[in-house]
Structure 1
């Protein structure tokens, strides 16, 4: 990726009423080369480059023809899929409202709702060969609780992948520092022939996020 240069000396003008934390966040955004590049390339978020970099390393989009995007908002990952695999069928889901993306079916609903998995599968009109999950639970400020809640989403996403993927398919999900929990890692290794962890360069250095990439789904027994 051709990255725009950041300006380490750039400072924000002080704004009345802005908290110190919001000022730090805004300054980081303004000086983030991925944020600048996302605007230049027409992507809705810098997260698009995480998928691009994971694809460059693992080729997860190489044969994707039916794709599920869990936690689609604001839509950057589906934009990447549309660009790199323009003929792929894509369906996404998120609690948050997501602006329409041409060629993408979007559900605004809770992935954990009983009816969500069936809605996603029916919209694709066939088994997906790639399940993407950039979901993370809303944080409550308690590290252990936040970890458990997010990993609960990852586990639900993994089971969805196992129950719906076509043979040979792949599953990519955001996890937290330390990687995938032992039980979940064992589950993925049971059902996929290759399971690896990666932290794409687009993930901020201070971020606790990693990604698990499970490829070559063995199929359901």
Structure 2
């Protein structure tokens, strides 16, 4: 993921966006990195084909290809939809949705985001009703699709990281349950074994079909998965 994407919505704290680095700064950057892990992450970014492809294709983040690949497997994006993108910074998923000609598109993130033409984006917190209300003003009716690529800051402890990400996935599902139109769809990042047992049970009650997907753009060593649920029962 890009530096901006790495610092995207991770929880209740706001983080300043980092500046990008040019390819020619590779050696200097590596030597000035604060830790060995930072060096490895920078080197991986510089050699990541999805990062390079995102630059060529004009996407703000490599994560755009995760949504594209999820759509290829599920057909989740359809023209004329009202779409909500939770944790939308830096805007890669917004760009993908716009290519599929939604009727309306809104997003929210704790981080400031550069405007995306065609999307109504709010810098705010999904847990703040006023922020949510400000975002929902961009829709003329209930959403047909709720997306969430929210993830917590990783600690290196897999169980802790899983629980923190699961909490965000539950928040996204709560939002979908409150706002989604009958027949609508939901897609959220989860970790490790997928949705928790409680969340999986909720999904099965709420939707006609539920599946887990690990898109090719998700790094092989990453524990992330995405749950896709379609046919909201209302």
The aligned residue for residue 197 of structure 2 is 182
CA spacing shift, 1:207–1:63, aligned 2, 3 Å = same
- Conserved? CA contact 1:74–1:99, under 8 Å: yes
Residue 55 of structure 1 pairs with residue 71 of structure 2: yes
- Conserved? CA contact 2:209–2:231, under 8 Å: yes
Residue 194 of structure 1 pairs with residue 209 of structure 2: yes
The aligned residue for residue 96 of structure 2 is 80
Residue 166 of structure 1 pairs with residue 206 of structure 2: no
- Conserved? CA contact 1:121–1:164, under 8 Å: no
1:141 deviates by: 4.4
2:49 is matched with which residue: 24, 28, 33?
33
The aligned residue for residue 147 of structure 1 is 162
The aligned residue for residue 13 of structure 1 is 27
1:161 deviates by: 0.6
1:111 is matched with which residue: 117, 121, 126?
126
1:113 deviates by: 1.8
CA distance in 1, matches of 2:59, 2:187: 20
Q: C-alpha deviations, 1:46-82, integer Å up to 9, x for none?
A: 0000000000000000255100000000000000011
Q: Secondary structure at the match of 1:123?
A: coil
Q: C-alpha deviations, 1:126-178, integer Å up to 9, x for none?
A: 10000000001223444333322221111111011111111111000000011
The total of aligned residue pairs comes to 207
Give the TM-score normalised by structure 1: 0.88
- Conserved? CA contact 2:208–2:232, under 8 Å: yes
1:198 deviates by: 0.6
CA spacing shift, 1:64–1:70, aligned 2, 3 Å = farther
Structure 2 gaps of 5+ residues are: 1-25
Q: Secondary structure at the match of 2:188?
A: strand
Structure 1 gaps of 5+ residues are: 1-11
The aligned residue for residue 149 of structure 2 is 134
1:122 deviates by: 2.8
CA distance in 2, matches of 1:16, 1:199: 34
| Aligned-CA RMSD value | 1.6
CA distance in 1, matches of 2:168, 2:96: 23
CA spacing shift, 1:186–1:63, aligned 2, 3 Å = farther
CA distance in 2, matches of 1:119, 1:149: 26
The aligned residue for residue 4 of structure 2 is none
